[in-house]
Amino acid sequence: MAGLHSKGKDYCFDGMIFGGNVEGDFIPQKNDKRKWTHLPWMHWGDQGSEGFHGLIKEAPISPQQLTAAQTDQYQVYAVAFYNDFASYALGRMWANPNDPDPTVTDRRFGKDNGFPVGTVIFKLLFTDAPSSQVDYLQNPVEWTAYITPTWTATSNRIVTRVRLIQMDMMVRDERAISTGGWVFMTFCYNGAVKSSSPWYNLVPLGAMWGNDPTYTKNIIGAYPPTRTMINPDLKETRINPSPNLPPQHLGWGMRMDGPVDLNTSSCMSCHSTAGFPQTASLVPPNFFLPEPPTSTPEWRAYFRNIPCATPFEKDMIACDFSLMVSISLGNFAEWKTGNIGGYYDEEFGAPVRRPNRAGVSPREPIPRTKPPQ
């Protein structure tokens, strides 16, 4: 697993670290070794990307979710990068910038639809949580960001500093086709490692290529995490046993999940909901209850092995596990409906909420295109 993570991180970092000043790193257009792109239409709306690094509002962090010393709620902002294979699909989707085709990532509309094998997507996640409350954020990678002062605020942004806490990777790999076709990897920042470059203080957390749908024991890691509980009964998740990994709460049943993710979810369950319009909540129903309903079909639906380019719900158009694609299409649809209306209002059926990992379930507008029968 260490070799997999090392190669994955090197692939993402190649040509993205320019040395000396982390503020100037990860600018795709400066990379002369690999081609990476951002998504269009991430800038629009009150949760749109900020101007320094293109970070978008991602998720809240509950008190003590990270450490016992974390007494306050904080927030996460993130930016994603798409390699040339992924960008091929995105180019097809946005070939007409005035009329994107969301069906490109849904296999029901064409056998070659979806992200192709070889796709790599990675995301850098930053938080406004201070190192005084999260000890492993010492010796931080810090970026300047234009963000809301709190998670619940929707306006009145401020210029402040945010710290790297997590990195996520998605790799479209045919060797994982029996469990969905994607391999997910996650890293957690640990400044105590003191690597030659602070970017390499990202410690492998784990990898998963399936949701272990037959494993149904209700194990939920407590906040605050004091140690990483590795579940040897999981067959489609591997967690790093290294002492360099800060204690992790992990996901439901100890499936892979990052420090800023919820302990009642998993990386794959969250991303499997990606669609247009985003009618599915990103988290299982009633996840916040003291005893969540983990035995119900509605809960178990979040821990299926869903094939790539297949929708979470039949009335959605699949975004092939990319929640950022779901956001970009939703932003465009909302903008076009609000500014042009008429034909486009009916055609797009604009989503009324963006993906929300805080567990707010969106209402259910009708997608503009029905899959073939």
The answer for residues whose C-beta is within 8 angstroms of residue 29's C-beta and 6 or more apart is none
To which H or E segment does residue 86 belong? helix 84-93
Peptide bond into 224 cis (omega under 30): yes
Average pLDDT, the chain: 91
Written as six digits, the tokens of 268 are 């794959």
At residue 344, does pLDDT exceed 60?
no
Q: Report residue 78: phi and psi, to 5°.
A: -145, 160
Which residue type is seen at 261? Answer: D
The answer for residues whose C-beta is within 8 angstroms of residue 235's C-beta and 6 or more apart is 210, 212, 215
Taking the C-alpha atoms of residue 2 and residue 43, their distance in angstroms, rounded to an integer, is 36
C-alpha count within 13 angstroms, C-beta hemisphere, residue 342: 3
**Range 55-68 average pLDDT:** 97
pLDDT tens-place string over residues 95-108: 999 999 999 999 99
CB atoms within 10 A of CB 359: 17
User: With contact defined as beta carbons under 8 Å apart, do 266 and 208 qualify?
Assistant: yes
Q: Using alpha carbons only, how large is the chain's radius of gyration in Å?
A: 19
Written as six digits, the tokens of 250 are 């992990």
C-alpha count within 13 angstroms, C-beta hemisphere, residue 33: 11
Instruction: Return the pLDDT at 360.
Output: 42
At residue 20, does pLDDT exceed 80?
no
At residue 132, does pLDDT exceed 60?
yes
Q: How many residues are there in the chain? A: 373
At residue 67, does pLDDT exceed 60?
yes
At residue 345, does pLDDT exceed 90?
no
Torsion of CA 355, 357, 362, 367, to 10 degrees: 30
User: With contact defined as beta carbons under 8 Å apart, do 15 and 32 qualify?
Assistant: yes
Q: How confident is the model at residue 359 (pLDDT cuts 50, 70, 90)?
A: very low
pLDDT tens-place string over residues 276-314: 999 999 999 999 898 999 999 999 999 999 999 999 999
At residue 177, does pLDDT exceed 50?
yes
Name the residue with higher pLDDT: 366 or 101: 101
Taking the C-alpha atoms of residue 330 and residue 56, their distance in angstroms, rounded to an integer, is 14
pLDDT tens-place string over residues 231-274: 999 999 999 999 999 999 999 999 999 999 999 999 999 999 99
At residue 362, does pLDDT exceed 60?
no
Q: Report residue 330: phi and psi, to 5°.
A: -65, -40
Instruction: Return the pLDDT at 366.
Output: 33
User: With contact defined as beta carbons under 8 Å apart, do 187 and 204 qualify?
Assistant: yes
At residue 371, does pLDDT exceed 50?
no
Taking the C-alpha atoms of residue 326 and residue 179, their distance in angstroms, rounded to an integer, is 22
Whole-number percent of the chain with pLDDT over 70: 90
Written as six digits, the tokens of 364 are 């259910």
CB atoms within 10 A of CB 299: 20
Helix (H, G, I), strand (E, B) or coil at 170: strand
pLDDT tens-place string over residues 179-225: 999 999 999 999 999 898 999 999 999 999 999 999 999 999 999 99
Taking the C-alpha atoms of residue 276 and residue 330, their distance in angstroms, rounded to an integer, is 7
User: With contact defined as beta carbons under 8 Å apart, do 65 and 259 qualify?
Assistant: yes
At residue 357, does pLDDT exceed 60?
no
Any alpha helices (H) in 145-196, and if so which ranges?
none
Q: How confident is the model at residue 358 (pLDDT cuts 50, 70, 90)?
A: low
Which residue type is seen at 351? Answer: P
